[in-house]
Amino acid sequence: MDAKNLFRNGLLVLAVVATLANTALAQRPYGANRGTSDGRNVAGQFDYYALVMSWSPSYCQGLGGDGDSQQCDRSDGKRYSFVLHGLWPQYAPKGWPQDCPMRGRPFVPRPVINSMLDIMPSDKLVIHEYRKHGTCSGLQPGPFFGLARQLFSKVKIPDDYRNPFETKFVSPGDLVADFMKVNPWLRPDMIGVDCGGPGNRLSEIRICFSKEGQPASCSHNEDQRRLCRADKMSLPPVRATNPDAPEKNVTPVVPRPRVIPNARNI
């Protein structure tokens, strides 16, 4: 076979391979193996929610907390333990949408921001979470944050995690077990624990819900092997027991869910 025919046959093989690949993609179920880079970030088209609750002392001891005076400034006497980080639409088996296009600007009204500050103690966090994740829910800011509060209120925080005075060390599995004890509806496949940074600090927990707000199994996004492989995590205290610590007379704030009448109309 001469070089010209060899080249022509090579092009033919490449064309067949490309056709088969495109066919496979077209037949793939919606959401399968999709991340944020596929360009199909469509509002309302996702498989489940991850309710993300972050451990505030870890955040405030990290780089992110340096510029967040609302959540981390000690001068106002407030301390937070678990706070609502966000409600994230997720794809199954993996991936997620973000920054979904919507009609008009993704504007969060001031009354909606104010209504969330008891459990999301930062203006910029509320605004950021709606722009990045809330826009993909298909909901306007009021209903979206109303649902986030409703799901947050379903999760009871174990007493040992409400106001620890000293650094606490716990394995991801033990933390899951502690949450399951006080939330009988929770199963191991519904929760993931994230850690990182110095001392493998607890970063956040993720609890999964269906689009209708019912407890649901998580997916690859919350695979514990991805989020935290440490045998033990450290949980910085909400406040210290050292009598010389500046915060010795501080009364910590533990976010407690409250019901807002007509939350969907905010």
Separation of alpha carbons 169 and 235, rounded Å: 6
Q: Tokens standing for 29?
A: 């179920």
Q: Looking at the chain, how many residues does it have?
A: 266
Prior bond to 184 cis, omega within 30?
no
Catalytic residue IDs: 85, 129, 133
Rounded to the nearest 10 degrees, what angle do helices 123-132 and 141-154 cross at? 110
Residues 6 or more apart in contact with residue 84 via CB below 8 angstroms: 51, 52, 53, 116, 119, 120, 148, 149, 152, 255
How far is C-alpha 76 from the geometric centre of its chain's CA atoms?
27
Separation of alpha carbons 75 and 56, rounded Å: 16
Q: Tokens standing for 155?
A: 């999760």
108 neighbors 79 (Cβ within 8 angstroms): no
